[in-house]
Structures are given as structure tokens and as C-alpha cells.
Amino acid sequence: MYQPPVKDFLFVLDAQLNAAQLAKSTYYADFSSELAEAVLNEAGRFATGVLEPLNRPGDQQGARWTPDGVKTVDGAVAAYRQFVADGWVQLGVPQSAGGQGAPVVLAIAAEEIWFGANMAFMLCPMLSFAAVEALLLAGSPELKKRFLPKMVTGEWTGTMNLTEPQAGSDLAAIRTRAVPDGDHYRLFGQKIFITYGDHDMADNIIHMVLARVEGAPPGVRGISLFVVPRTMPETGASNDVRCVSIEHKLGIHASPTCVLAFGDQQGAIGYLIGEENRGLEYMFIMMNAARLSVGVQGTGLSERAFQQALAWSRTRVQGKLIIEHPDVRRMLLAMKSSTQAQRVLGLYAALQNDIAKTLPAGEARAAAVARAELLTPIVKGFCTEQANVVTSLAVQVHGGMGFIEESGVAQTMRDARITAIYEGTTGIQSNDLIGRKLLRDKGAAMRALIAALMADLGAAANDPPAVAAAAAAARASLQSLQQTVDGLFKIATASVPAAYAVAVPLLMQCGFTLGGALLIQGAQIAARRLATGDADAAFLRAKIETANFYSTHWLPQAAALATTVHSGSASVTTAELI
């Protein structure tokens, strides 16, 4: 039974990141530590009371296609109604758009809890939020008036329609056509893999669709973004968009993954968002938020997997309780420490978005935006790849039972698999990291981040020896990362494909180093609190021990990856694959 790790969230938000600093700005004047605690406790109650009980039955039953539309799993409609009634849809939506305006860092923390309890359910609200963001960002006042209010309350849900059979990672290949027709367009084409593209949980579904206006330039510069409602809001008439089938998948069975046909008859009515041919640009801004959320899915499932494995190890006896076997302890600590490193990395990245919003336009704000953008592919790629490792370890801790569906842990592993694929595969995140983030600003944002973390880890004079050793390891790892990034520029100058050949190892090195540095910085804070006689000594000691484990078991991976980045390109680019 999944338990929300609220205590760890509050430690990271309050003691480590000082998220309450946001309240100094008028933008987040209502925010406080107490508010964060209340919200996370309530989010946790929703997770354990409503979402968790549906997780396994939903996996077993799965969403179903019918000629009258997709039917979600038993209980999902009621759970969604409750989610809406409790006002959760509005949590992260700005107050100016009728939302509660919670900082991204708090909304992301709540999301991790809900993903941990039931990832398949939560994909629907997550995508709705992304659709709301797209409208807020680039929609005309008229479009906002027509669609936003009911999307913000959750009465209507939203989707993201990018993928087509020939256009997955390569969105330049999109073929869906948009033909101007008076004040709107008519869309013709097929989208695949559309999450919650059809369902019975809400009155209407508002699709955000990438398509090409006839005569637009080829490639990514000719793609536009459209709002296509399933049902026309004013008349209640059905639009010409139809769910043709849903996929049979490895995991997230309760989440319908739809093939959508647009324009089988007269063309699906769509309204242009922003300007023609700028669709991908808008989509990217919205995808950055979604990518952070998908990274956090990895963390939520890692936490779930750890809890499942811990519970099992406390009841299974082989000679003695298996939790007493050193290798099982190692696996549990690997899961726990990875999860906590993922969490602090994700929350740190989310906070940069909030800090940017509180600053006036200028250098400091630009630096916060750059740091958020730099960290987004790292959070997405690293946390989801680690989630695959951590959920697999949970199966290992269960032994043979882990391979058996009744244990529940097999589902966690299956559900986690997709996180490293959708919203841009790990390869695509790594290309983004190198191309758009590191090469474009010549490493400026990364240099500033490394320097900031080095400074945070600096004042370690009175730390206990184990913490001081971990901090020294983290500093060395940060220095090594700086060298790797500098070296990458040399590789890229000589040959761009050579740099892309080691993009994923570089992203993973970033993840281990940055996540490790933040986790170890948390241990320093915990040690200081412990020294002042903080009441929660057991929690603080565990925080320190977890970071110590990370510094000796996970952090060394960064050094190995540095070697690969430094000297691994040629073996990729020159080898014959026969």
C-alpha cells in the first residue's frame, strides 16, 4: 500500500530549498511552508483513499474501446469527479486563469504522489494541464474565453496530438493537413498513441493538434497548432474526430492510448492557436512542463517500487528475514537513495521555474529560466531511466514472486517502462541537452549551476566524517562534470555526430552528479539539524545514511560515464553493425 513520502518532501522544500522564499514576491504571496504541508497531506489522502485502490484493478481490467466511445476502468469516472470536485485540477493553474496559482514546485510534488499511487489515472489531468498551458501561452482572448474555463475546472479534459505513424521523434514528418475555412480550419489526418484521446470521464475533450496548413513550408517550420474539440461547445454537435482503436500495451493499461482519425467526413473543425507555422515553438514550451512531469512519474514509481520491496523484505524469510541479508539491504538502499536523489533534482528544477516568475525581467531572471531549461531534459531522461532500474530492483528483491503479477510489483515495472519513451525518448532528451542547452549558450548555464552547487557544498568544516567524505565526493564529481562538458565542446567542434554518440552517457553523468550533489547537500543540512538536537533524529540520521550510500554506490557511476563521454564516441560512430 503506497504511502506518500510527505516528510521527505517537506524536508526538501523547507530545510533544503527554502521554497518559502517564494512568498516574498507578490506572485506567490499566498505560499507558505504550512500551505505546502496542508496541500501535500491532502494530496496524499486523495492518493491513498481514491487512487491507490484503483491502481491494480485498473491494470487488470484496462480501458476498453466500444463503438460508442472508450470506456475507462471501473471507478475511474467517480475518481475523476472527485479530483475535479476537490479542485485539484486548478492547483498549478495561474490565478489569472481561474486557478489556485500554486508554485510549480508544489504542483510537481503533489503530482509525484499521485503518480506513485496511480500513474495511469494521473496521465489524464497531466495532459489537460499541458493543454491549458498551451492555450494560456498562445491562445487568442476569444479561444481562451471559449475553452479555458471548463478546462480549468476539469469539466473538460485536454490532450496533446503530436505523433503520427511516420512522425514520432521526427515531428518534421507530420502530415495532418489543415485547410482554411472561414474563421476556422478543417483538419484531415491520423494521430496515433494519443493518451486519453477518448474516454468517458468528462463532458468534452479538447485536443491540441499539430498539423500543416496547406502550402506551409516543409519541415518543422511549417507546423501549426490547433484546438480541436471533440464536441462543439455551443451546439453540442460531434466534431469530425473519432477514436478508431486503442492500443494493447505493456503497462498503464487503465490509460487509453488512442488512434484518432481527423476528418473522415467533412473535416474536423479546428481553431489556430497563435500564428501559423509557429506550432512547434508553442508545443515545445508546453512540452517542457510536461517533460518535468514525466520525469516526476519516474520518481513516483520509484518510490512506489521501494515501498513495495521494503514491505516484502520485512515479511519474507529465507534463513532469516531477507531484509537482513546484506545484498537485499544494498538493493533497498539503492532504490531509496536513487528515489530521493531523483526527487530533490526534480524539485530543484521545478523551483527554478518559480524563481524565474518572481524576478523582474533581467539577467537574474534569464539565468533562472536557463537553469530550468537546462535541467528539464536531465530530469526527464535521468529520472525515467533510473525508474526502470529501480522498479526492476524491486522485482529482484521479491525474487520469483516479483515476476508474478499478484505481487503488484510487476505492474510497477511495466508501468515505468513507457516513461523513458514518451514525451521524447532518452535519446531525444540527450540531443536536446547537448544541442539546445549546452552548445547553444557555450555551457554558461551549466557552469553557473556547477558553481552554485559547489558553493552550497562548500561550508562543510564541522560535518561528521562520513558526510564530509560524501560532500568531497560530490564536489569532485561536479568538477569532473565541468571537465566532461568542456571536453564535449572539443568533441563537437571536431564532429557533431561524435558528440551525439555520447549524449546519453553525458545526460546520465549529469543526473548522477547533480542529483547526488543535491542529495548530499541535504545530508549536510540534516547533520547540522541533528547537531542542534532536532526532534526528528531518526529521520535525519536516515537522510544522512541514504546520502552516504549514494556517494559510494551511485555517484561513482558518474566517473565511469565521464570516461565513456571522453573516449566512447569513435567506437559508436565507426563500428559496423552486422
Ligand X SMILES: Cc1cc2nc3c(=O)[nH]c(=O)nc-3n(C[C@H](O)[C@H](O)[C@H](O)COP(=O)(O)OP(=O)(O)OC[C@H]3O[C@@H](n4cnc5c(N)ncnc54)[C@H](O)[C@@H]3O)c2cc1C
Q: How far is the CB of 73 from ligand X (least distance, A)?
A: 16
Q: Is there binding between residue 169 and ligand X (CB under 6 A)? A: yes
**Grid coordinates standing for 295?**
520525469
Q: Is there binding between residue 161 and ligand X (CB under 6 A)? A: yes
Q: Is there binding between residue 124 and ligand X (CB under 6 A)? A: no
Q: Is there binding between residue 163 and ligand X (CB under 6 A)? A: yes
Encode 110-122: b = buried (16+ Cβ within 10 Å), e = exposed: bbbbbbbbbbbbb
Phi then psi for residue 246, to 5 deg, are -125, 160
CA distances from 79 to 88, 502, 524 (A): 12, 44, 41
| C-beta closer to ligand X: residue 40 or 119 | 119
Q: Is there binding between residue 422 and ligand X (CB under 6 A)? A: yes
Picking from 223, 22, 34, the residue whose alpha carbon sits closest to that of residue 104 is 22
| C-beta closer to ligand X: residue 89 or 501 | 501
Q: How far is the CB of 248 from ligand X (least distance, A)?
A: 11
| C-beta closer to ligand X: residue 250 or 451 | 250
CB atoms within 10 A of CB 552: 13
Q: How far is the CB of 188 from ligand X (least distance, A)?
A: 17
Q: Is there binding between residue 304 and ligand X (CB under 6 A)? A: no
| C-beta closer to ligand X: residue 4 or 256 | 256
CA distances from 296 to 114, 116, 337, 345, 382 (A): 10, 9, 15, 10, 10
8 Å CB contact between 99 and 152: yes
- Per CB under 6 A, the list member of 313, 431, 484, 524 interacting with ligand X is 431
- Per CB under 6 A, the list member of 310, 323, 421, 439 interacting with ligand X is 421
Q: Is there binding between residue 193 and ligand X (CB under 6 A)? A: yes
**Grid coordinates standing for 191?**
494521430
Q: Is there binding between residue 245 and ligand X (CB under 6 A)? A: no
Q: Is there binding between residue 168 and ligand X (CB under 6 A)? A: yes
First to last CA, the chain: 47
For ligand X (CB under 6 A), the number of binding residues is 20
DSSP SS3 for 425: coil
| C-beta closer to ligand X: residue 350 or 501 | 501
Number of H helices, E strands in the chain: 18, 10
Q: How far is the CB of 371 from ligand X (least distance, A)?
A: 25
Catalytic annotation on 303?
no
- Per CB under 6 A, the list member of 73, 79, 134, 418 interacting with ligand X is 418
- Per CB under 6 A, the list member of 73, 89, 138, 160 interacting with ligand X is 160
Q: How far is the CB of 339 from ligand X (least distance, A)?
A: 23
Bin 107: left if φ > 0, else alpha if -120 < ψ < 50, else beta: alpha
Per-residue DSSP letters for 499-560?
HHHTHHHHHHHHHHHHHHHHHHHHHHHHHHHHHTT-S-HHHHHHHHHHHHHHHHHTTHHHHH
**From 52, 276, 423, 576, active-site residue:** 423
- Per CB under 6 A, the list member of 162, 331, 470, 530 interacting with ligand X is 162
| C-beta closer to ligand X: residue 205 or 470 | 205
- d(CA 526, CA 541) in angstroms, rounded, equals 7
| C-beta closer to ligand X: residue 162 or 341 | 162
Q: What are the helix (H) ranges across 217-315?
A: 279-313
* Site for ligand X, rule CB under 6 A: 160-163, 168-169, 193-195, 249, 257, 418, 421-425, 427-428, 431
Question: Any idea which residues carry the catalytic annotation?
Answer: 423
